[in-house]
A and B are shown apart, each in its own frame.
Chain A
Amino acid sequence: MAEKTIGRDIAPPDLVAKVTGRAKYAEDFRAEGMVFAKLLASPMPHARVRSIDTSEALAMDGVFGVLTADEVPQPGAPNEPALTNEPLYEGEAILAVAAIDETTAADAIEKIRMDLEPLPFVLDPLDSLRPDGPNARLDGNTRIGREVQTIKWSEEDFAAAADGHMPVGQPGDEWSYGDVDAAFDAADLVLDETIVHQSLTHHPLESRSCMAYWQNGKLFIHGSTQSTARTRAAIARGLGLELHDVVLIAEYCGGGFGSKISGSTIMQVPALLSRKIGRPVMLRITRAEETYLGRARPGFQAKAKIGYRADGRVVAMELFIVQDNGPYGRSGDFRTAADMASLTYQVPAMRFGGVSVYTNTPPKSAQRAPGGGQITSMLEPIMDKAARELGIDRVALRHINVPDNDGVFGPRRRGLTSAYVREALDRGVELFGWEERAARSGQRHGSMVTGIGIGVSSFVGGSSGFDGLLMIREDGKLYVHQGIGNLGTHSIADTARAAADVLGMPWDRVEIVWGDTSRHLPWSAVQAGSQTTHAHTRANHAAAMDAKRKLQEIAAGDLGGSPGDYETGDGRVYRRNDRDTGMTFARAARRATQLGGKYSGEELPEDINAMTVTSAQALAGEGLMGVAKDTYPHEGSTFSFVVGFAEVEVDFETGHVVVKDYTAVTDCGTVLHPRSLAAQLYGGGVQGMGMARSQRWVFDPQWGVSFAKRLYTARPPGILDVPLEMKWAAVGIPDPQTPVGAKGIGEPPLGAGAAAITSAIADALGGRCLCRTPLTADMILAAVEGREQPYGPLETHV
């Protein structure tokens, strides 16, 4: 029997291509006759196109055509079109020009005469809620239900803002459970804090460049996306095409972090421009353009009022969040934030209110731990403050509040599949050396003051109900078809291990089929929200169980006995009591082809998705097929957890922060791939550190234009900003409600990293929570020196 693949360090099969430069990302493809597109971006944060004259541009040598907003689908408000005649943020694409090269395209854009009527704009959501404040959109400033509406607060509602406190007015969303007022009345300590969390661009290193061409009415599109099956579906839907008329090639994705979940609206531009001019079109997105088009995490301005019992137990919470929604759609971060707060601290009585306000800033989308990241980094230092005031250990305060298997969350008090956060805390205390380090908290050496931080982070760890599709071919190999994407988490390979282990297949005989929708992929989860590990170990497990049953039946039919007498392993199906009686997978695959029916995929299960049916039909007759929908039952929601611990040194003369050490311990169920898990814990932690310390937006409030549109101004963390060595561990207790026991782990490391830093910095400042991110050197220095901060307490984009 082959060694189990789950739990071992196995390099993903695409790694050699990645280290030799052979891995092709979207901008690495070329097509015969390919030309280049450039975008004409709005110079204003909100305007209306009065007129466009492209005649001079079109007359230039080497210019092939222009695509305007009138030629792209215009989804109903408040959804985002690929090109617009009413730009709602600076940098939004108005039209595109195709030319023989980019210089010519850019020159042509300079020759376009455009008359823009400037319209009122707003950057700060609170400004839009003021009685006479501007709206970012002409049809309103928030979305309630399906409708765009307008919410304005009264001057009295804003009274609290005068002394720097979060004002609270009419919410767009609200819920509550328990007797919140009574719980606050009975509390031994009540903290009431104002929070400001910045918006920040995702900035994957690969921008969303895209190349497209058409052949015989079929669109071939090379894009950068986190998902494959779901991105093809989104492109087809967006352009009004049949699914089978779209071939998406996206084998590699240079990072997404939530900004490329199912592709990107801007992909429509090369697709439609190519159809119009009859040539392949490459649209290269610059870093500055990525700032505009590339999505961002929505910022929060919030009030967090928390009631505690003397032993540190949270007894009541009130959260009110004003969310910077950007101009389109509706971000769910603020609602998720409330759910995560309810979950992490098992709040017995809670009230949530919030409003997601449209602003003339770049569009928002999920960014790794959407909502969870923001609230974790903000609430954890407040928990520290409570521990300090109540005179109890900070770990003890977490211990008493965090969920276990009986945990519930949110207004509907839903349950969990598993939660081993206390085990993670205990392990982390030991690994980090909490006792010893906490004793150093606040110590000063020269100008450096030590701060010790802790962050407990929860996030959704999986979905279910997707399809698995695999083939055992006549070469005896197992081909696992994956409709998820290859965004760098290695889950494209790691989730296939579930199938390998069910069949006892040695890993070197497993091939992963992915990244090209002409290669017959199954319907899959979006590669986002930490769904994949859970959803696709389940789907691949189900498909492998189907294949195993078929192998057993074929062996019993040919060799005698009943199917249950047979086992699989090492590429053979053999009799349990007599290993020599059996057949190779290669032979079984040939028999499956001969037998036809369900064995070779001629007959398919009725519950699989239409896309999986099409893929399976194309593969039918080429060997033995395993195909199934994941119908494994589970009760409650699946969550993963990370506890982060950090030691920092804050320079009291400069405000500079050095992160000395970081330790992360997770409960994510069974560990599939230790080294990749470490990479998620550290990588997410590092992104969280960037969010806590440096990443930000800065806008000119007068003109509504961005000043932080490059990497050096948006400031994601570099290698010198993080500790030279970090530590990690996993609790490793399998989730009992999923066959492999594994839960997703993409998201929660971010909140843990961010919160460990915000907590550690507050600790170095003697427990003073600045309750905002990013905590830049100038802010820290002003706090150290007792000077007034150079920005207003509720001010954003500073």
Chain B
Amino acid sequence: MNEIELLEAVQRTVSRRMFIKGVIAAGAATSSVGYLFRGPAAVFALPSIQGSVGRLVTLNVNGQQRRVDVLPQETLAMTLRYKLGLTGTKLGCDRAECGACTVLVDGTNHYSCSMLTRSAVGREITTIEGLESEDGTLHPVQQAVVDEGGFQCAFCAPGFIMSMVALVEANPNPTREETAQALSGNLCRCGDYDKILTSAMRAAEYARREA
């Protein structure tokens, strides 16, 4: 880059150092390293046999033991979506802002985009795909959402539903305000919060009936 032209064209008063700082602050080119999908190319970089054996882990997902090849830095969302084919778990942001990737880990709702897969080894992972019974009966929370005609675009729905499941198990009799608090880690861009709250209240009612 021609420093003199830069200075003339953009700002007459700044130094190259400041410009570089500005560009670094912007970080436009590859701003979200943690969001990247890491796949088979890692093989090129690692001593193959030893590396790949060390990467095989067993995950308990939706009641099944799944053997999967996981890199140390891989997030649970990426493993679920790209290694286990569980695409119901969505990615809506670069990291921990929207809750679309919410799954249950030992019954607690977690952002799977911000949890390393390796830290979920030995724990019970439940995704949206794991809520239905084997005979296709919907989970009471899913049924409540259907009965209320819940969600619009529904990209946030799997995450919200997982948070609702965690809520009704922890607090079977929540107030509307407690429900809003419990779901406040999930974002709905359609702004369908009223229907989401009503669905969650109905979900709690269904869950109480089943209990």
Contacts and interface: CB of A to CB of B under 8 A. Distances in A.
Nearest to B159: A205
Task: Point out which of A30, A61, A121, A683 has the most chain B C-beta atoms below 10 A from its C-beta.
Answer: A683
Interface in A9-33: 9, 11-12, 15-16, 18-25, 27-28, 30
B85 to A, nearest CB: 8
Nearest to A22: B88
B153 A487 contact: yes
A722 B190 CA distance: 13
A706 B23 CA distance: 11
B155 A675 contact: no
B32 interface: yes
A460 interface: no
A287 B34 CA distance: 12
A43 B181 CA distance: 39
Interface in B139-175: 142, 145-158, 161
A23 B158 CA distance: 10
Given A20-B132, A255-B153, A709-B31, 15 more contacts: A15-B146, A21-B128, A36-B39, A61-B44, A100-B39, A103-B41, A121-B10, A287-B98, A678-B195, A682-B195, A686-B193, A687-B189, A705-B26, A719-B188, A719-B196
A778 interface: no
Report the interface size class on chain A: 35 or more
Contact of A712 (B32, B37, B97): B97
Interface in B12-36: 14, 19, 22-23, 25-26, 28-33, 35-36
A110 interface: yes
A19 B157 contact: yes
A716 B189 contact: yes
Contact of B142 (A19, A115, A717): A19
B98 A205 contact: yes
A700 interface: yes
Contacts of B147: 11
A724 interface: yes
B36 A91 contact: no
A18 B154 contact: yes
B106 interface: no
B189 A205 contact: yes
B68 interface: no
Contact of A725 (B23, B26, B194): B194
6 contacts: A62-B41, A91-B28, A205-B98, A678-B194, A679-B194, A710-B93
B168 to A, nearest CB: 15
A60 B20 CA distance: 27
A521 B195 CA distance: 31
A117 B4 CA distance: 11
Contact of B154 (A252, A284, A687, A700): A252
Contact of A43 (B26, B85, B176): B26
A319 B204 CA distance: 52
Given A205-B189, A255-B153, A100 B196 contact: no
Given A99-B41, A702-B22, A11 B149 contact: yes
A286 B25 contact: no
A446 B177 CA distance: 22
A204 B195 contact: no
B107 interface: no
A784 interface: no
A391 B2 CA distance: 64
B129 A117 contact: no
Contact of B39 (A102, A118, A676): A102
A625 to B, nearest CB: 31
A284 B37 contact: yes
Interface residues of B, number: 82
Interface string A116-133: 111111000000000000
Contact of A718 (B150, B176, B187): B187
A103 B38 contact: yes
A91 B26 CA distance: 9
B104 interface: no
Given A116-B1, A683-B192, A720-B181, A204 B39 contact: no
Nearest to B82: A30
A687 B161 CA distance: 22
Contacts of B190: 255, 488, 679, 683
A118 B30 contact: no
A720 B184 contact: yes
A19 B150 CA distance: 9
A41 B29 CA distance: 5
B187 A115 contact: no
Nearest to B195: A679
B47 interface: no
B191 A722 contact: yes
B154 A9 contact: no
A102 B183 CA distance: 32
B61 interface: no
Interface string A677-699: 01100111111001000000000
Interface string A704-732: 01100111100011111010111000000
A90 interface: yes
Contact of B92 (A19, A100, A205, A686): A205
A247 interface: no
Given A28-B87, A102-B36, A700-B22, A18 B194 contact: no
